Chain A
């Protein structure tokens, strides 16, 4: 065990910090902006921001160089993540590409697919969305019914996806389709990449409880997709899908958001007067705050442990199964504590003139609950930990 960074890593950290200090946009984008609506101008600003991070060499540090990465070890990536938290850098619009489909293509894609898609993920020229869930298939994802038939060297896709985040502005979708309806449900699924501008695709935005258009219904009516857009083998998409889910759950369980939320909660509590003293001096709230801080720190070291395992080339074991469950629930608990801290002001909508902290928390409180559901609910995470991790018998 050695938590010291090498002099080179320390120098790298200073360099990242300086760069962020000088380059974080001062207007337009708010740090840690969760607004999912993404009007055209915000979207454009966010793409520019990502592009600049990429040009500076601070994006996808562990990806191979030929695809726009830096071929560095994961420690550098974690340094960048930490500095982004510290400086409250704006979110990356291409996160689903960078953290989900990108790593999946690196493992499962062929050379042509890697060369075609990976660089544009980083430059934000192509924004991705995830077409997994359907009206009849959420937790039971493998029951999905969107059909893809092979006609010549194309897939012809018919069906519907739902809850598709970002589909209203995405350029590409990684999508699960049924290619063999007669096979057992896990063995007839394929993983394909669909151009969102293809004829036959209709995107209908759905309004989330936050009031934003964060996710969508996506309809497919004889949509033609070239066969070369198949990732992995035909009918073996379930394995590929799970690779993406694994990356997604790590992204959702990422501790950078968690630390950012805790810092903001602490600032809020210190600035909030209750009974003539700051809330941080209220013995009950102090206990709660400390308990949250302890959980935040525990997840931080838990992730460092997994980072070390990955550098050492070791299987992280049971630990990796809990990231999504622990991280998303902790984020929601942090936001819930902030709502309590705000007292009656928690009743105000985020755009009311009297809203505290510019309406950040009521939104965050809802958004974080959405992530307890998205990517596989907490119930499903617990099933997975018990059945795959602890080998308890399946109920079915």
Chain B
């Protein structure tokens, strides 16, 4: 019985925090976030040199072959930095989907370059009705002589604009579990990308149309509905980890500010209203972090509880992040409401995190259903 990070994981955490403090401080984050692409090729290249994109990619496709807990440790630091870019969506979610469901041909074509940082994948799941059940999808994959023909429109696709390929969820029949994941190159005939304006400036979103896109047989990932659910869990855990990091950051910012800002002749941190708000964030955050670690661990090691654990982590971490961000903005007073101050980047990222891969109410319902009530 050991519920803690390994020495290697502690090191990963330390080195990630150190790297991001140097390469993606708030000033740099803002610069990237305000740039049209919402990513920095230079930062992406440096991360690739550290092997981050291939962290959970199997070694035979050029990755480090590590697990979801290692990824969660890294993503917590990315959330701390509010790092813009496709990393989470590509290296945690698309990479998992390929590693779990892709054959050698598709993985040689996409997973290997993903691991080396030469390609990024985007996951296209929800549609205009923003539901996550296969029965919510209008997108279909119809069997054709040369594979499957995909038709449909996906909304809120993170970093579609810069993706090399998509992993698209589409219905493969009329049954509740008839869903498939298909790998579609971004430049395939029939793919159209229309950028959306996201509230969170550290992310890019787009609407992606698939109009009669042909997917050859090897482009359909193995695993059907089971794989789809695993991919949702991976997404939930990844966002939860980012959220824990973000909550830690807004807490740190507010506490730091409260020690230097003076009103009524003393630091505002000596007022109990400020102290209690900060303490409440800590009391929310510390147990939530343990829950996220548990979910990431369960994803790899405890198949029976993995889905429930991911749902718990997502619901809790997102609630905690949003509440923390709101409190932290308030603790800054007027300066916290300005464009110049950095805290709004985290405040908005918290809100996007809530929605991505199922909002807290959706996951609480899952927890109830999976918990047998």
> Residues on A close to B: CB < 8 A?
1-5, 9, 75, 78, 266, 269-270, 280, 283, 286-287, 289-291, 293-295, 297-299, 301-302, 304-305, 307-309, 311-312, 318-319, 321-322, 325-326, 379, 381-383, 385-387, 389-395
Bound state CA distance, A393 and B259, in angstroms?
A: 7
Bound state CA distance, A1 and B7, in angstroms?
A: 11
Chain A nearest CB: distance from B76 CB in Å?
14
Closest to A75 in B: B1
Q: Which of A266, A283, A394 contacts B373 (CB 8 A)?
A: A266
Q: Is the interface of A mostly helix, strand, loop or mixed?
A: helix
**Contact (Cβ within 8 A) A318 B271:** no
**Contact (Cβ within 8 A) B3 A298:** no
B189 in contact (CB, < 8 A):
no
**Contact (Cβ within 8 A) B274 A308:** no
Q: Which of B5, B276, B278 contacts A1 (CB 8 A)?
A: B5
B205 in contact (CB, < 8 A):
no
Residues on A with beta carbons closer than 8 Å to the beta carbon of B364: 286-287, 290-291, 294
Residues on A with beta carbons closer than 8 Å to the beta carbon of B294: 3, 297, 301
| Nearest 3 pairs of A and B residues by beta carbon | A386-B275, A290-B364, A382-B279
B255 in contact (CB, < 8 A):
yes
Residues on A with beta carbons closer than 8 Å to the beta carbon of B124: none
Chain A nearest CB: distance from B299 CB in Å?
12
Bound state CA distance, A299 and B286, in angstroms?
A: 9
**Contact (Cβ within 8 A) B297 A326:** no
**Contact (Cβ within 8 A) B6 A1:** yes
Residues on A with beta carbons closer than 8 Å to the beta carbon of B275: 382-383, 386-387, 390, 392, 395
Bound state CA distance, A39 and B254, in angstroms?
A: 52
B284-340: which residues lie under 8 A (CB-CB) from chain A?
286-291, 293-294, 297, 301-302, 312, 315-316
**Contact (Cβ within 8 A) A382 B290:** no
Given A287-B364, A386-B278, does the pair A297, B291 have CB atoms closer than 8 Å?
A: yes
Residues on B with beta carbons closer than 8 Å to the beta carbon of A308: 1-4
Q: Which of B5, B255, B290 contacts A390 (CB 8 A)?
A: B255
Q: Which bucket holds chain B's interface residue count?
A: 35 or more
Q: Which of B5, B302, B371 contacts A3 (CB 8 A)?
A: B302
**Contact (Cβ within 8 A) A3 B287:** no
Bound state CA distance, A75 and B1, in angstroms?
A: 7
Q: What are the interface flags for B344-373 relative to A under an 8 Å C-beta threshold, 1 for contact and 0 otherwise?
A: 000000000000000001001101100101
B178 in contact (CB, < 8 A):
no
Q: Which of A75, A295, A391 contacts B287 (CB 8 A)?
A: A295
- Apart from A293-B371, A386-B278, what are 15 other A-B pairs with CB-CB below 8 Å? A1-B69, A298-B288, A298-B312, A304-B3, A304-B290, A308-B4, A318-B286, A321-B282, A322-B287, A382-B275, A383-B272, A390-B255, A392-B258, A393-B267, A393-B270
Bound state CA distance, A319 and B316, in angstroms?
A: 17
Bound state CA distance, A270 and B316, in angstroms?
A: 23
Chain B nearest CB: distance from A372 CB in Å?
13
**Contact (Cβ within 8 A) B373 A4:** no
**Contact (Cβ within 8 A) A299 B287:** yes
B34 in contact (CB, < 8 A):
no
**Contact (Cβ within 8 A) A390 B279:** yes
Residues on B with beta carbons closer than 8 Å to the beta carbon of A78: 1
B280 in contact (CB, < 8 A):
yes
Bound state CA distance, A298 and B147, in angstroms?
A: 45
Residues on A with beta carbons closer than 8 Å to the beta carbon of B297: 1, 3
**Contact (Cβ within 8 A) A309 B4:** yes
B121 in contact (CB, < 8 A):
no
Chain B nearest CB: distance from A270 CB in Å?
6
Bound state CA distance, A383 and B271, in angstroms?
A: 10
Most chain-B CB neighbours within 10 Å: which of A266, A287, A390? Answer: A390
Closest to A394 in B: B270
Bound state CA distance, A68 and B1, in angstroms?
A: 25
Given A1-B5, A3-B302, does the pair A289, B368 have CB atoms closer than 8 Å?
A: yes
Chain A nearest CB: distance from B169 CB in Å?
25
Q: Which of B282, B283, B368 contacts A280 (CB 8 A)?
A: B368
Closest to A79 in B: B1
Bound state CA distance, A175 and B203, in angstroms?
A: 58
**Contact (Cβ within 8 A) B371 A301:** no
Chain B nearest CB: distance from A344 CB in Å?
23
**Contact (Cβ within 8 A) A326 B287:** yes
Bound state CA distance, A21 and B4, in angstroms?
A: 32
Given A280-B373, A294-B316, A297-B312, does the pair A322, B3 have CB atoms closer than 8 Å?
A: no
Can you sample 13 A-B contacts with CB below 8 Å?
A2-B1, A3-B1, A3-B294, A287-B364, A294-B367, A297-B291, A301-B293, A302-B289, A318-B282, A319-B290, A386-B278, A393-B259, A395-B275
**Contact (Cβ within 8 A) A301 B287:** yes
